[in-house]
Amino acid sequence: MPKVYNWQLGRNMYYPYQEKHPRWQFAFVFNINRCIACQTCTMACKSTWTFSKGQEYMWWNNVETKPYGGYPQSWDIKLLEMLDQAHQKAGRQAVWDPGQGDGEQQPYGVYEGMTVFEAARHADKREEVAVGYEPSEDEWRFPNIYEDTATGSRDQKESFNLESTALPAHHTWFFYLQRICNHCTYPACLSACPRGAIYKRPEDGIVLIDQKRCRGYRKCVMQCPYKKPMFRANTRVSEKCIACYPRIEGGDPLTEGEPMETRCMTACVGKIRLQGLVRLEDDGAWAEDRQNPLYFLIKVAKVALPLYPQFGTEPNGYYIPPRWAPRPYLRQMFGPGVDVALEAYTFPSRELMAVLQLFRATQRIVFRYEIIEGEKVFERTANGRTWSMYNDTIIGFSKSGKEVARVSVEEPIFIRPDVHSNLV
Ligand code: SF4
Ligand code: SF4
Ligand code: SF4
């Protein structure tokens, strides 16, 4: 019975295959607070990879509105309900013990409930490696159904909310959730495939479906809890996000061989996305890499969290949670690290403030950063805490060590000359 270590759950868990890890892992951070749901990322992916016949309803990248929306419709509510039923049947609770957290190995404590793999095993469903379902055709119709639909206000469900509201949680709220494949450490899609057609690349941890081996059994569609593999009816095989791997390999002429961020990342208008590669040890732990922006955001500042870590696939997509949504909802979605993450985002440290400026500062992947300290430019007091802002400058370096970004915390002001060249 193979056991693997899942650091997001702080414990060993059941997975059908032996543990084996890539040298680098594709990972990303999305800052939910900044997204405007313009869907530029969605269209960047579609116009690159899924514009052909049979792919009309295929959105490898989508941005959905929470709490009501989802692509496919209600995917997460259905999964949570299935997991809940499994726990009730087993007489167990899907709870976390945050008290057991010890930093690196168990940053969010220990998840004491069952993952999608463990729930299927407990139910003795031999034909399934993970709890899951196959969405109906209707459920794939809209990439952002219930767009901008907010929750009703407290005690005023049918009327306008005339009450003023304040942080930490608004009575009326919604937020956008940006989604691509998480290129999971323990992919449910891969373990579900009876053809062995899905593999995780040893060089960068990207999860791909071999189009020649796939026979369209749709087990991956059924058992990926995030619902990111999709079936293409005219070719009768499944497809999914390929993490724009030619760019990660440095194959785009624009970056002259340097690894480049993906299409959906670089197109982001709201500058909410930062993507990169993190170095792994042989046992899958993240090698200490203090100056890698992703390592800093996730492991040091702890401001970005995995999506539904309780599913157990160890997703490699991380989110800075929204400040205004109710905490219980966010804890269910991102685990018990939510309060620490929101505190870090509300009162960012000097270093975090600088690293946040790297979002969309360059198309090349930043492997290392340095900070040059600047003057104090602002101070405020909120909730009894004084916070200061410094005009530090952050410099990002590519894989080969070239400077690829230089951004300051305060945006520089340029004054145009009186006479413009087009007036002469
Ligand atoms: S491009 Fe960026 S801001 Fe626009 S929807 Fe996508 S993630 Fe959000
Ligand atoms: S998100 Fe789904 S499709 Fe992507 S690697 Fe994880 S299990 Fe597979
Ligand atoms: S990483 Fe590339 S393939 Fe994946 S969703 Fe983004 S643009 Fe599409």
Question: Rounded to an integer, what is the distance from CA 18 to the centroid of its chain?
Answer: 25
pLDDT profile of the chain (424 residues), mean per 10: 91 95 98 98 98 97 97 98 96 89 82 96 79 96 93 64 76 94 98 97 98 97 98 97 98 95 98 98 96 98 98 98 96 97 96 98 98 96 91 98 97 82 67
Q: Are 362 and 405 in contact (CB under 8 A)?
A: yes
**Closest listed residue to residue 117, CA positions, set 7, 11, 13:** 13
- For 225, other C-beta atoms within 10 Å of its C-beta total 30
Instruction: Note the pLDDT tens digit of each residue in 205-256.
Output: 999 999 999 999 999 999 999 999 999 999 999 999 999 999 999 999 999 9
**Ligand 2 mean position to 421 CA, how many Å?**
53
How far, in Å, from the CA of 322 to the mean position of ligand 1? 14
Q: What is the token pair recorded at 299?
A: 């492991």
What Å distances lie between residue 401 and 88, 204, 253, 365, 370, CA to CA? Answer: 53, 19, 18, 11, 12
> Which pLDDT does position 420 carry in this prediction?
74
- For residue 267, give the ligand nearest its CA: 1
pLDDT digits (tens, 9 = 90+) for 289-301: 999 999 999 999 9
Ligand at minimal distance from the CA of 180 is 3
User: How far is Cα 396 from Cα 407, in angstroms, rounded to an integer?
Assistant: 9
pLDDT of residue 144: 95
Q: Is 24 helix (H, G, I), strand (E, B) or coil?
A: strand
Q: Which of 178, 359, 360 to mutate to test the pocket of ligand 1 (most atoms within 8 A of CB)?
A: 178
The C-alpha atoms of residue 38 and residue 119 are separated, in whole angstroms, by: 37
What are the distances in angstroms from CA 115 to CA 101, 112, 133, 228? Answer: 19, 9, 15, 18
The ligand 2 atom nearest the CA atom of 187: 7
Tokens found for residue 331: 């804890």
pLDDT of residue 161: 63
45 C-alpha to center of ligand 1: Å?
A: 12
**8, 108 Cβ separation under 8 angstroms:** yes
The ranges assigned to domains in the chain are: 19-148+173-346, 350-408
User: How far apart (Å, rounded) are the C-alpha atoms in residues 360 and 275?
Assistant: 9
Question: DSSP characters for 35-68?
Answer: -----HHHHHHHHHHS-STT-TT--SSEEEEETT
- The residue with tokens 């970004």 is 405
Query: How far does the centroid of ligand 1 lie from the alpha carbon of residue 143, in Å?
Result: 13
CA gap 259, 345 in Å, rounded: 28
Size of the chain, expressed as the number of residues it contains:
424
Q: What is the pLDDT of residue 165?
A: 77
What is the DSSP code (8-state) at residue 212? Answer: T
Instruction: For ligand 2, say whether the CB of 226 is within 6 Å of any of its atoms.
Output: yes
Ligand 2 and 229: CB distance under 6 A: yes
Establish whether residue 242 lines the binding site of ligand 2, counting it when its CB lies within 6 angstroms of any ligand atom: no
* Rounded Cα distance, 193 and 187, in Å: 10
CA distances from 186 to 116, 204, 336 (A): 11, 14, 21
- Can you give the three-state secondary structure of 87-139, one letter per residue? HHHHCCCCCEEHHHCCCCCCCCCEECCCCHHHHHHHCCCCCCCCCCCCCCHHH
pLDDT of residue 424: 58
Position 144: which residue type?
Answer: N
Q: How many CB atoms lie within 10 A of CB 194?
A: 10
- How far away, in angstroms, is 299 Cα from ligand 3 center? 24
- Cis peptide, bond prior to residue 2, ω within 30 of zero: no
Residue of the CA atom closest to atom 5 of ligand 3: 61
d(CA 370, CA 194): 47
Query: Hey, what are 270's tokens?
Result: 């709201």
Radius of gyration over every alpha carbon of the chain, rounded to an integer in angstroms? 22
Closest ligand 3 atom to residue 243 Cα is 1
Residue 366, CA distances (Å) to 90, 184, 361, 391, 400 in order: 46, 21, 10, 21, 10
Give the C-alpha separation, 231 to 239, whole Å: 6
pLDDT score, position 160:
62
Sign of the Cα pseudo-torsion (280, 284, 289, 295, in order): positive
Neighbours of 168 (CB within 10 A): 14
Q: Which pLDDT value is given to residue 418?
A: 78
| Residue 248 Cα to ligand 1 middle (Å) | 20
Q: Which residues contact 171 (CB under 8 A, 6 or more apart)?
A: 151, 153, 154, 161, 163, 165
Question: Whole-model pTM?
Answer: 0.95
Query: Under CATH, which architecture does the 19-148+173-346 domain have?
Result: 2-Layer Sandwich (3.30)
